[in-house]
Amino acid sequence: MTAISTVKSATCPALFLAAPSSGAGKTTITAALARYFRLQGKVVRVFKTGPDYLDPQILAQASGQDVEQLDMWMAGEAYCQQKLYEAALEADLILVEGVMGMFDGEPSSADLAARYNIPLAIVMDVKGMAQTAGAIAVGLANYRDDVTVAGLIANSCGTERHAELIREALPESLPLLATLPRDPEVALPERHLGLVQAAEVRDELEQRFNAGAEWIAGNAITELPASVEFKSADLDTVEPLLAGKRIGIAKDAAFSFIYDANLRLLKALGADYSFFSPLNDSELPDVDALWLPGGYPELHAAQLGANQSIQQAIREFHQSGKPVLAECGGFLYSLETLTDLDEQQYPMTGLMTGHGAMRGKRGCQGMQTAALPEGEVRAHAHHRSRAFDTEAPIAHGRRQRHPAPGEPIFREGSLTASYLHLFFPSNPAAIAAIFSGQFEHTEGIAG
């Protein structure tokens, strides 16, 4: 008997925005395109390549839709395939913003585009070049034969003559999709670890998005891109291992690096969750476990240090033996003190031994596997601080492409803490074990 395929498919216009390098304007242009088509009454679903937290906040506001991170190493090919399929069911347009340079990383933006047959638009800052922009674009377009390039978006284009020189340098097979002039009213504000958080500058962003839509309308081809067929994937069923559990999640201006995928996974595991603010609240919600995610505690260290009532509540929660997961910024908050960029030291919760201090521009970033006793969880690191005088870690992260030990992973009592940001769907059973308190209470060992 022939098996009946359960794979479904959906088609949707789609475009992948990649660039020769970081800083070409991918996020600004993706946001402007999303807002332009949204104002035309289209449902625009945007995805961001890689583990980024900040760009998705910006792009979600521009599009009016949730933004998913796509990373074939961190989330898996089947997961990415399913999310694109689900978006195609409801969207009039899918936009994917790449990361770094078009071929940088393993997997790269080009790998992702090739895997799901999404045509690429090359975003290039053409300031200081003319025909050379055409040469670079042709080289990128022909570097691999498994990617389809729809054309070039010339950003920071000075004059019509500048645009004409670039257009003449391109073959007919590589059209000039847009010639976007430099416009400070459209460019997005930045901060020391990337873009600002959208909630901090919502009104300003609205003005920039709308200016960006006009920027697109006056300087770009505004037809929808070609349609792409997206197929469903068979993902493993998630068992309700956290049924009846209540999880308190820190969420405010200091703690906001939370994947929507992680929240959905907690729901699929059967858990309920509620948010609280270490900046403003005086007590915890009635919960069985805590999650202290990443964010910018260093920018709010004085207020965090002054809120002794919530710190005491968190200490008592930890002392009661209930599980706490702390990631990056949450890890810093779990230490005894935090020294900010102005060399001011503030008291933190002291759930574990040690101190944290900012390091300016020096730091660590990259994909790692968190080698937890409960199982391996895919993760990434991105920080410009250091922790010192801690107890010995129970393990280290395993770097994706380097043999040196990754970020240390600590466990003190019911606390699991590390600089690593965990992608929960990569190992639901391990995440359930941590939040249910069924993990191993391992003593610190040198790693």
Burial (CB count within 10 angstroms: exposed 0-12, middle 13-18, buried 19+), residue 200: middle
Domain 10-231, CATH homologous superfamily name and number = P-loop containing nucleotide triphosphate hydrolases (3.40.50.300)
Q: Which helix (H) or strand (E) holds 149?
A: strand 149-155
Are 280 and 442 in contact by the 8 Å Cβ rule? The answer is no
| Lowest-confidence region among 11-20, 368-377, 422-431, 432-441 | 432-441
pLDDT tens per residue across span 196-210 = 566 667 888 999 999
For Cα atoms 439, 440, 444, give the angle at the middle one, nearest 5 degrees.
130
Q: What is the mean pLDDT of residues 174-198?
A: 78
Asked if residue 292 has pLDDT above 80, the reply is yes
Is pLDDT of 195 > 80?
A: no
Q: How confident is the model at residue 328 (pLDDT cuts 50, 70, 90)?
A: very high
88 in Cβ contact with 10 (< 8 Å): yes
Place of tokens 């191993």: 440
55-64 burial: b if 16+ Cβ within 10 Å, else e: bbbbbbbbbe
pLDDT at 320: 97
328 in active site: yes
**Dist CA 56 CA 330 (whole Å):** 20
Q: What average pLDDT does the segment 84-98 reach?
A: 98
Find the distance separating the first CA and the last CA of the chain, reported in whole Å.
54
Predicted confidence (pLDDT) at residue 365 exceeds the cutoff of 80: no
3-state secondary structure of 121: strand
For the domain made up of 246-436, the CATH class stated in words is alpha beta
Handedness of CA 248, 251, 254, 260 (dihedral sign): positive
| Residue 16: HSE in the Cβ half-sphere, 13 Å Cα cutoff | 26
Residue 51 sits at the vertex; the CA angle it makes with 200 and 104, to the nearest 5 degrees, is: 120
Q: What angle do CA 423, 328, 357 make, to 5 degrees?
A: 165
Rounded to an integer, what is the distance from CA 273 to the centroid of its chain? 21
Measured distance CA(119)–CA(17) in Å, rounded: 9
Residue 1: what pLDDT? Answer: 39
Say what the pLDDT of residue 23 is. Answer: 92
Residue 39: CB atoms within 10 A of its CB come to 14
Q: What percent of the chain shows pLDDT beyond 70?
A: 93
Rounded to two decimals, what is the model's pTM? Answer: 0.91
343-363 mean pLDDT: 89
- The whole-chain average pLDDT of the chain stands at 92
Task: Give the domain ranges of the chain.
Answer: 10-231, 246-436
Residue of 12, 80, 328, 364 marked catalytic: 328
Lowest pLDDT segment from 46-50, 202-206, 344-348, 372-376? 202-206
- Polymer length of the chain: 447
**Residues 200-224: what's their mean pLDDT?**
91
Give every CB contact of residue 404 below 8 A, 6+ residues apart in sequence.
none
The helix (H) or strand (E) run that includes residue 272 is strand 272-276
Find out whether the peptide bond into 428 is cis, omega within 30 degrees of 0: no
Q: Is the confidence at residue 102, as pLDDT, over 90?
A: yes
Are the CB atoms for 130 and 165 separated by under 8 Å? yes
Does pLDDT of 276 surpass 90?
yes
Helices and strands: H and E segment counts in the chain: 12, 26
Query: Are 49 and 75 within 8 A, CB to CB?
Result: no
